[in-house]
């Protein structure tokens, strides 16, 4: 198979042969044949190296076709010109492995093939032009944010942070990478999605998978007994990206956690209340918070007859019910996990139960129900009864759905678990969390009870961006990328310093303003910029206005204009801005 490489050498199945790329297979000396045979014999041991060479060879993309065409054209009618001699074969193969490029390849054949050297020099021009045309791209699963997208994201962060602060949370931060041993064994089957870093002087490091495990490590390292914290930061997962559903390999999470010993279920209720408040304030649409209890899941599996060693694998299968029908999940349990069919059917009867919290709780606590008779699930049901009362008191019970099919896949959950989804949406879970009483103890040997929630901001952002673009299209406006309130504009030449002075005066008063960088801008351009950017007010002046100590203030929405004394400009703009905000 022929592959054109980055150094413009052709790798054939038989080794390196520039001649065969141009005019078909060339006669080969005995030494070359013997060397090719040796290479074939060692094929298996060099498999990785060959894969690396092939990967390097593909870096030119479509440019390889250009090179191939150039070679064929240049060699037309020049039979025998590019035959490679014995020494050239070995030297060129070594060059290919070392990546020394065109210069070294040319040197390997220079003494015998001057036309080939000239051809390689011609190809250098082709390659450089081709590389110059190649556009850089973002890595798979990552993204750039344009200014209008950043404005939407910052608005989302602001809304979420305001709720966190409203509940008295403090902000913390942790490194984006952790010791690999810190993350291992905390995520169950999802551990395979952790990004491992290259060896860093003896420390094995990984990028953080979430913000919860680093928080538990933070609590243990700093010997914290109780804390109510929030943290907004990037996490990394080697997942298959689904950009249309807001799934990336690098993304932000917004976490709120309460750690410490408190009255049972009171912190859980506040965390859920925070989640409900955030989703209401973001105005994403109607949502549901699915809720379950880890000990209910374990009791359910025990009653069904699942061996304890299979609890976690079966929970991972159950967790797919939000994406797959029961028939598919059942088949996985039976065919892949090895459960008897009747055991899977019993599980199916449990996981179909969902509904209004207190109504389903009444069904499960009835004396004849098997979950009411199991000691672990009976204690869990009692906790849920208290939780529902607290949520009702906080005004957060309405969106809650008690759902026995919810089985969060992370190994560290020990109590209540929950997940928020938008009704009728196609972005999956937008928030999730639960209680993890044993996680801190994995690092310090001393358990610190904790409960928290994580907001998937990328999915939230995707929804908010779609809503913003719909509103902009309906109103015929653009999404604002800035918060500029006033554009300072001028008429006539030589006004740049005056515009800067007025802008500085507005900045000192806390008014968001721009003045433009062109020394003598046209008024039409300044008006167009204000309209394009959605700036609500303009301050206009020329030499005449300044001599009179006056400026004009233009309301872009009302299309009105008033003359204001320069000394009273700040007060008038503050009045207009306040009126706009109030409306």
Say yes or no to pLDDT of 25 above 60: no
Please indicate, yes or no, whether the overall pTM of this predicted structure exceeds 0.85.
Answer: no
User: For residue range 485-519, what is the model confidence (pLDDT) as tens digits?
Assistant: 999 999 999 999 999 999 999 999 999 999 999 99
Neighbours of 449 (CB within 10 A): 21
Confidence band of 163 (pLDDT split at 50, 70, 90): very high
> Domain coordinates of the chain in residue numbers?
3-133, 138-286+453-480, 287-422, 486-582
User: For residue range 351-402, what is the model confidence (pLDDT) as tens digits?
Assistant: 999 999 999 999 999 988 999 999 889 999 999 999 999 999 999 999 999 9
Angle at 35 between CA 30 and CA 38, to 5 degrees: 130
Confidence band of 36 (pLDDT split at 50, 70, 90): low
User: For residue range 475-487, what is the model confidence (pLDDT) as tens digits?
Assistant: 888 889 999 999 9
Indicate the fold that domain 287-422 takes in CATH: BirA Bifunctional Protein; domain 2 (3.30.930)
Q: How high is the mean pLDDT of the chain?
A: 82
**Which pLDDT score is estimated for 565?**
97
CA distances from 254 to 3, 156, 207, 556 (A): 46, 10, 17, 37
8 vs 96: CA distance, rounded Å = 9
CATH superfamily of 138-286+453-480: Bira Bifunctional Protein; Domain 2 (3.30.930.10)
User: For residue range 103-153, what is the model confidence (pLDDT) as tens digits?
Assistant: 544 554 444 455 655 666 766 776 677 666 677 888 888 989 999 999 999
Q: Do domains 138-286+453-480 and 486-582 have the same CATH topology?
A: no
**Which pLDDT score is estimated for 237?**
93
Q: Which segments of 24-146 does DSSP mark as H helices, in order? A: 30-41, 47-57, 63-75, 86-98, 102-109, 114-133
Say yes or no to pLDDT of 262 above 50: yes
CATH 3.40.50.800 matches 486-582: yes
Confidence band of 417 (pLDDT split at 50, 70, 90): very high
381 vs 399: CA distance, rounded Å = 19
Say yes or no to pLDDT of 273 above 90: yes
Say yes or no to pLDDT of 276 above 60: yes
């Amino acid at each position: 198979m022929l592959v054109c490489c980055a150094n413009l050498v052709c790798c054939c199945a038989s080794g390196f042969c520039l001649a065969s790329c141009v005019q078909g297979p060339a006669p080969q000396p005995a030494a070359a044949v013997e060397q090719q045979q040796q290479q074939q014999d060692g094929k298996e041991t060099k498999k990785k190296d060959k894969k690396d060479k092939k990967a390097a060879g593909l870096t030119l993309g479509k440019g390889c076709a250009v090179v191939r065409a150039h070679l064929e054209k240049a060699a037309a009618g020049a039979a025998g010109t590019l035959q490679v001699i014995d020494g050239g074969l070995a030297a060129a193969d070594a060059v290919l492995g070392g990546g020394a490029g065109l210069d070294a390849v040319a040197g390997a054949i220079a003494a015998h093939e001057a036309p080939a050297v000239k051809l390689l020099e011609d190809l250098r021009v082709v390659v450089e032009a081709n590389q110059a045309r190649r556009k850089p791209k973002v890595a798979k699963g990552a993204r750039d944010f344009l200014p209008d997208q950043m404005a939407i994201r910052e608005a989302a962060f602001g809304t979420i942070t305001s709720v966190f602060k409203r509940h008295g949370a403090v902000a913390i931060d942790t490194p984006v990478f952790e010791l690999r041993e810190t993350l291992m064994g905390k995520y169950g089957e999802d551990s395979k999605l952790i990004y491992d870093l290259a060896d860093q002087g003896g420390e094995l490091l990984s990028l953080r998978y979430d913000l919860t495990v680093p928080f538990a490590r933070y609590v243990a390292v700093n010997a914290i007994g109780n804390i109510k914290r929030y943290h907004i930061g990037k996490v990394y997962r080697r997942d298959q990206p689904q950009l249309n559903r807001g799934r990336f390999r690098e993304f932000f999470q917004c976490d709120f956690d309460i750690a410490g010993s408190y009255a049972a279920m009171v912190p859980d209720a506040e965390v859920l209340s925070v989640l409900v408040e955030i989703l209401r304030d973001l105005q994403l649409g109607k949502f549901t918070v699915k809720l379950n209890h880890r000990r209910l899941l374990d009791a359910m599996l025990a009653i069904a007859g699942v061996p304890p060693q299979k609890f976690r694998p079966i929970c991972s299968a159950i967790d797919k019910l939000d994406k797959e029908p029961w028939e598919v999940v059942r088949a996985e349990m039976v065919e892949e996990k090895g459960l008897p069919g009747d055991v899977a059917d019993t599980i199916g009867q449990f996981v179909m139960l969902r509904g209004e919290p207190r109504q389903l709780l009444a069904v499960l606590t009835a004396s004849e129900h098997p979950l009411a008779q199991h000691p672990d699930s009976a204690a869990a049901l009692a906790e849920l009864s208290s939780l529902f009362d607290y949520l009702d008191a906080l005004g957060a019970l309405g969106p809650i759905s008690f759902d026995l099919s919810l089985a969060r896949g992370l190994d560290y959950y020990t109590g209540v678990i929950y997940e928020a989804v938008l009704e009728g949406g196609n972005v999956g879970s937008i928030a999730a969390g639960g209680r993890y009483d044993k996680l801190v103890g994995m690092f310090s040997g001393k358990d610190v009870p904790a409960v928290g929630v994580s907001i998937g901001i990328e999915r939230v952002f995707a929804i908010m961006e779609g809503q913003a673009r719909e509103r902009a299209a309906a109103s015929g406006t653009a999404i604002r990328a800035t918060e500029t309130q006033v554009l300072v504009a001028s008429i006539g030449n030589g006004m740049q310093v005056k515009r800067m002075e007025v802008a500085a005066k507005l900045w000192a008063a806390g008014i968001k303003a721009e003045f433009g960088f062109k020394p003598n801008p046209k008024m039409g351009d300044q008006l167009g910029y204000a309209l394009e950017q959605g700036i609500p007010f303009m301050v206009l002046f020329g030499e005449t206005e300044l001599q009179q100590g006056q400026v004009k203030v233009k309301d872009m929405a009302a299309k009105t204009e008033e003359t204001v004394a320069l000394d009273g400009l700040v007060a008038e703009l503050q009045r207009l801005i306040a009126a706009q905000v109030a409306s």
